[in-house]
């Protein structure tokens, strides 16, 4: 029997958490690392490749150091300090079917979905030179929209689970 038998959403959440860790370490957190940490690593080449492929104005702005993008750097700090531990604990909780992670994952999902809204807005409002093509914008949306929808799904799923746990507990108390 599969570890996630009867828990298909837990399987999706688990894989989302696990795959998110290396992506953030390799891309998002480059805006936070001291340059000496990454100078002799493949990370600068990876970000150069990513920027050549995507022309992502959000990552470009955050890595560029402009004060106009300090909001994004703040989101990266939130990602490093709050979300990274949530991914680790969330993956563990989904793997072990531990309900104690539900409140944390509710907070994670709501927080993350909220931070993605201004990020997506920036894709549509920040001018790029030359302007992003329809294909480039579609690629970027394909990269970013799942990071809005999946955490939103996690928040909704955890809300429903917690509601059921509380309702069951209250019903038992009433007996």
- Domain range summary for the chain, segments of one domain joined by +: 8-174
The predicted structure's pLDDT at residue 173: 82
Distance CA(74)–CA(39), nearest Å, equals 23
Distance CA(83)–CA(112), nearest Å, equals 8
The predicted structure's pLDDT at residue 121: 95
The pLDDT-based confidence of 171 (bands split at 50, 70, 90) is: confident
The pLDDT-based confidence of 31 (bands split at 50, 70, 90) is: very high
Angle at 151 between CA 146 and CA 157, to 5 degrees: 125
Task: Kindly report the pTM of this predicted structure.
Answer: 0.91
The residue with tokens 């022309």 is 55
Q: What is the pLDDT of residues 40-71, one digit of tens each?
A: 999 999 999 999 999 999 999 999 888 999 99
Contacts of 63 (CB under 8 A, 6+ apart): 30, 31, 47
Distance CA(71)–CA(62), nearest Å, equals 8
CB 134 within 8 A of CB 123: no
DSSP string, 85-128: HHHHHHHHHHHHT-GGGHHHHHHHHHHHHHHHHHHHHHHHHS--
The predicted structure's pLDDT at residue 19: 96
Q: What is the pLDDT of residues 87-143, one digit of tens each?
A: 999 999 999 999 999 999 999 999 999 999 999 999 999 888 889 999 999 999 999
Of 101, 44, 114, 102, give the one whose Cα is nearest residue 74. Answer: 114
The pLDDT-based confidence of 1 (bands split at 50, 70, 90) is: low
């Amino acid at each position: 029997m599969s570890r996630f038998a009867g828990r298909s959403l837990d399987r999706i959440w688990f894989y989302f958490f696990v795959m998110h860790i290396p992506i953030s370490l390799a891309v998002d957190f480059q805006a936070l690392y001291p340059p000496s940490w990454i100078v002799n690593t493949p990370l600068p080449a990876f970000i150069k490749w990513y920027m050549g492929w995507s022309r992502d104005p959000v990552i470009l702005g955050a890595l560029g150091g402009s004060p106009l993008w300090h909001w994004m750097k703040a989101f990266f700090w939130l990602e490093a300090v709050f979300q990274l531990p949530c991914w680790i604990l969330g993956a563990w909780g989904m793997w072990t079917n531990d309900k104690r992670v539900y409140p944390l994952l509710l907070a994670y999902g709501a927080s993350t979905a909220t931070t993605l809204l201004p990020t997506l807005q920036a894709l549509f409002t920040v001018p790029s030179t030359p302007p992003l093509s329809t294909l480039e914008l579609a690629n970027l949306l394909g990269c970013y929209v799942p990071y809005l929808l999946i955490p939103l799904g996690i928040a909704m799923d955890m809300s429903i689970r917690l509601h059921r746990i509380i309702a069951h507990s209250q019903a038992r108390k009433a007996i």
